[in-house]
Structure 1
Amino acid sequence: MTQRTGSTGGLPAPSQVIELLAAEFERAGYEIEDVVVDTSARPAKIVVVADGDRALDLDTLAELSRAASQLLDEVPEVSAPYVLEVTSPGVDRPLTAPKHFRRAHGRKVELALADGTTVLGRVAAVDDGILTVVVRERSDFSRRQIRLDDIAKAVVQVDFSSPSKRELELVGQTGGGAV
């Protein structure tokens, strides 16, 4: 987790925001991935990035934002005006931990491996340090296992096409449509 800030001038430090909000977010089934306190913005901005095993929809983001705002309003040391933003990680966030791969189940990912090769596939599973991805091989799909330690960089790919029935079967999902 990164915690970036300059002087917080009347605002809590990222670590204080995490300490204050973590229990509330956990009750809702989410964890705080990052907090940025940007005092150079006018007004200053507090950004809380949350993630969980369930997708963050707009209603949940609004609920978390209201709860965070109420908790921050109760802190007497918060004297500067600020804008609060509660958001989910962007699709460009690198996948760096097993939980990130688990949460990307069914999503298409691009993996840069330590040996310099690249793998494009759909996340099927992650277990005991091994990522299983469904990859296209010629005219069919197959499962490939890759040690997480062998992955130099991994990012989710924006994918507007619907996966094939065979690809969904190998990922462990049924039905059609986008993942």
Structure 2
Amino acid sequence: MPAPQAMRSRIVALVEPVVVDAGYDLEEVAVNQAGRRTVVRVVVDVDGGISLDDIATVSKDVSAALDKADSFGSGPYTLEVTSPGVDRPLTEPRHWRRNVTRLVTVRIGDKSVTARIKAVDDQGVHLVDDKGERTVAYADLGPGKVQVEFGRSKNDENTNDENDEEEGGDR
């Protein structure tokens, strides 16, 4: 069996065109041994989010490509196709774009900043925090981490609860 990195590279070369042709982004491929079985974990995403039906389609296509290439010889393998979790670091412009309006913590220079992503463009990420709004170039951003919010602020621009006035306003 080839070295783990060589096998991963070969699998990425097989899987990436299949995922891209299906209209998705390949975020990660991990190849691990679990006893005699090889476990291949493929992480895919797309703007607007990915559905379970999308995952099933990609899984079927990737499995067919791996089987056709006889990637594992006669050895068994398990394929896991999934979407990135909320704990995935934001490192690429598309990651930032897919999380507009979300609260994130990110390292900018030597400081850790918690701010809301207002917008994303070719220049960088527009962040808003209690100190105001600023645009930070991608090169100046460390990996971002989405903060899980159980309740969004009333002044969040995406919250449009017309019943606030009828229910007495403040909660």
Classify the TM-score, shorter chain.
Answer: 0.7 to 0.9
Task: Give yes or no for contact 2:91–2:142 (8 Å, CA) kept in 1.
Answer: no
Residue 42 of structure 1: how far off its partner (Å):
5.2
Question: Sequence identity, in percent?
Answer: 35
**Structure 1: unaligned runs, 5 residues or longer:** 1-5
Q: Distance in 2 between matches of 1:158 and 1:125?
A: 19
Structure 1 residues 83 and 159: CA distance shift in structure 2, 3 A: same
Residue 135 of structure 2 aligns with which residue? 145
Is 1:93 the equivalent of 2:85?
no
Q: Distance in 2 between matches of 1:121 and 1:55?
A: 22
Residue 3 of structure 1 aligns with which residue? none
Is 1:161 the equivalent of 2:151?
yes
Cα shift readout 1:95-149 (whole Å, capped 9, x = no counterpart): 1121211121222211122132x32222121223321123246xxxx53322333
Residue 81 of structure 1: how far off its partner (Å):
0.3
Q: Which amino acid aligns with 1:104?
A: N
Residue 107 of structure 2 aligns with which residue? 112
Larger radius of gyration: 2
Q: Distance in 1 between matches of 2:35 and 2:94?
A: 32
User: Within 5 Å, which residues of 2 pair with 1:58-69?
Assistant: 58-69=52-63
Cα shift readout 1:62-114 (whole Å, capped 9, x = no counterpart): 11111111221112342210110011222222211212111212222111221
Q: Among residues 70, 73, 83, which one is paired with 2:67 in the alignment?
A: 73
User: Within 5 Å, which residues of 2 pair with 1:4-153?
Assistant: 7=3, 13-41=7-35, 43-79=37-73, 80-116=75-111, 118-136=112-130, 142-153=132-143
Task: Give yes or no for contact 1:113–1:153 (8 Å, CA) kept in 2.
Answer: no
Q: Tell me the secondary structure at the aligned position of residue 29 of structure 1.
A: coil
Q: TM-score, normalised by structure 2?
A: 0.78
**Structure 2: unaligned runs, 5 residues or longer:** 162-171
Q: Which amino acid aligns with 1:155?
A: K
Q: TM-score, normalised by structure 1?
A: 0.75
Q: Distance in 2 between matches of 1:35 and 1:84?
A: 11
RMSD: 2.4
Q: Tell me the secondary structure at the aligned position of residue 148 of structure 2.
A: coil
